[in-house]
Amino acid sequence: MLLPKDRGFVHPKASEITPQPVYRSRRRWVATAAATLLAPRLAWAAGATAAPKGAVLVGAHSAVPGAITMDKPTSLADATGYNNFYEFGLDKSDPAEYAHTLKTRPWSVAIEGAVRRPGPLGIEDLLKLGAMEERVYRMRCVEGWSMVIPWVGFSLAELIRKVEPTGNAKYVQFVTLADRAQMPGLRSSVLDWPYVEGLRLDEAMNPLTLLTFGMYGQVLPNQNGAPVRVVVPWKYGFKSGKSIVKIRFVEQQPATSWSQAAPQEYGFYSNVNPTVDHPRWSQASERRIGEGGLFAKKRATLMFNGYEAQVGQLYAGMDLKKWF
């Protein structure tokens, strides 16, 4: 849904945003306007080839415990300009430079596997499945850097309930678009394309797992996984699949891209865990992007990225060093 221009709020261009003040003023506006503006669809969705410049998502604050952190949000410039999205290149700046080639309309997501209601869902259909919420999540990369991002979407569980998994569905697999005409990074052999990720069904059903359509109140930029991605805040960032074209419900643990490429480094679970080091670097601390650069004092990494109260029970009795 586009934010009406006659409500007294003028959203700045991305290049003009001073993130913290703008972000806070938008949150105050949403708190007063959500009752009349909250809606699960976006006006630009039907038939558009791309979100118009300045399009804004409307979302109420989430009531899901743990969905709003009080940490200072990362700047919009950093969050959209420093990314891992290898389909557009291996350097952190490559996605922002090259992802303009991605065409996000028309777009559909195939629902496959052990569900009673399989079939394609267009982006317009996906947008109707739940009420938009804003969630401010800590995000942690396996490489040791972190951000705090205000995402917009709704719990993936809303979609899962509507497609009705059968008793055979134990895992959910996410497949990212792989189109060489749009994604120059696919020429690289660093991974076996398409990019695939997966969760246990109970992880996917956890209220914190977000089916995501926007960030910072705007529609998702291409480099951040437009038009639809998942966000799993207690896991390292590569678990949050971007630009999704297939969601499969399967009985066996699915093979995932990084666990296939380097199984000694990337496990299926990939929960943020300061006690389990990557073979090439420690995970005990992290560098928050935007806090003083490479020489800024690091902060301690939190178990499950600080979401232990919400998700720790999912792993009760598991050896988290073995099932990393």
pLDDT in tens, 18-48: 344 444 444 443 333 332 233 333 443 433 3
pLDDT tens-place string over residues 147-164: 999 999 999 999 999 999
CATH number at residue 131: 3.90.420.10
Residue 292 lies in a domain: no
Pairing of strands 60-61, 133-140: parallel
Task: Kindly report the pTM of this predicted structure.
Answer: 0.85
pLDDT at residue 55 in the model: 60
Q: What are phi and psi of 228, to 5 degrees?
A: -150, 135
Q: What are phi and psi of 156, to 5 degrees?
A: -55, -25
Residue 38 lies in a domain: yes
Task: Look at residue 219 and give its three-state secondary structure.
Answer: strand
Residue 94 lies in a domain: yes
Q: How many CB atoms lie within 10 A of CB 77?
A: 14
Residue 287 lies in a domain: no
Residue 74 lies in a domain: yes
Residue 281 lies in a domain: no
Residue 239 lies in a domain: yes
Q: Which domain holds residue 62?
A: 5-260
Between CA 292 and CA 301 the distance in angstroms is 17
| Residue 110, amino acid | A
CA 17: distance to chain centroid? 22
Residue 241 lies in a domain: yes
Q: How many CB atoms lie within 10 A of CB 316?
A: 6
Cα–Cα nearest to 165, from 202, 116, 201: 116
**pLDDT under 70: residue ranges of the chain:** 1-56, 58, 294
Into how many domains does the chain fold? 1
What length is written for the chain?
A: 324
pLDDT at residue 38 in the model: 33
pLDDT at residue 11 in the model: 36
pLDDT at residue 60 in the model: 84
